[in-house]
Structure 1
Amino acid sequence: MKDCCELTKFSPEQRQLLQDVLESLESGEDEDTQVQKMSALMMSMILQSLKGYDQFDSPMIHFAAVLGIVEDENRLRRGDEYSYMLAGFMYCVRVLFVEYTLPAATRAEQTAEDIDRFLELRKKYLVVGSYSPCSFLIKMLGYGKTMSMQKINQPSITWTRSE
């Protein structure tokens, strides 16, 4: 397998933010600075518009695709093996998004404008049809759910002797 960094397509901004994170970790900057830089990197991936781009130009979608590979068996994961991973990943993305748009540290001072900004960004980046990585991943979750619902389960009928 090729190196992930070689195959993953980062925008110039994302590449710079990734370099900043690596330098911060290597230099041993304080934890708050490292978290701030990591948050900026993650948000650049979450708030990425894919209008006019291939879906796999997104590092998030690339990661989710790699997550769906069973390397030692040379196959893709089935829906029931993959959907829970994708759901967990999307949960983390949503938590990061909420913390970015409505920080917990300032919850008490948040105004209606802050909530409107959250709703606007949510509509632009976290819903199906928004030309964003999350839109694609939500569709994949729906597809996985549909496939697992259509899966034919083995019958589990047992009977006992009546005496």
Structure 2
Amino acid sequence: MISVKETSLQFNKKIKIDFSGGALSSDSGLLLYREFDAKTGFSRLIENMLKIKDPVTHTRHTNAKAVIQKVYQHLAGYHTDDEADELGKEPVFTTILGKKRLASQPTLSRLNQRVDNGTVQSLEAINQAYLDHLFALRFRTQMVLDVDSSNFETFGDQEGSAYNAHYQDMG
């Protein structure tokens, strides 16, 4: 049997991944998103480019950190601000966001109230900067994932059929 050996993540060396049991979380898949985020700089772009008119300086939950929390909540399937209260001390969320406690539903709702046209424009600029960064990456190797290895040969001029070199027929 092949098993994954213990490894650590680049964004936080204290996090170890192994399969020996212990504390469990149904949101551990977010660790991979966080690793991807650390390598591509998405959260960094939000922290540097987000513009929200806010007369108050927040120290515990900055506007940028609250937006990043909302992104991770959406990735995990928690689409409403109300779910932030349930996730307040969830270990995977607090670890990847570097907090002892997440921003609450009222904090996220107040953030929503401060969004204006300038905020939308800054979010569009963040999106464009991120896309530009990703498109500029040049990978040295190529990987093909064949998620369906079955072959169904086609006959005639069926739309979408093409020659399959592996099976040496029209598939």
| TM-score interval for Structure 1 and Structure 2 normalised by the shorter chain | under 0.3
Q: Looking at both structures, which has the greater relative contact order when contacts are Cα pairs under 8 Å and sequence separation is at least 6?
A: 1
Q: Whose radius of gyration is greater, 1 or 2?
A: 2
TM-score by length of 2: 0.25
TM-score by length of 1: 0.26
Higher helix share: 1
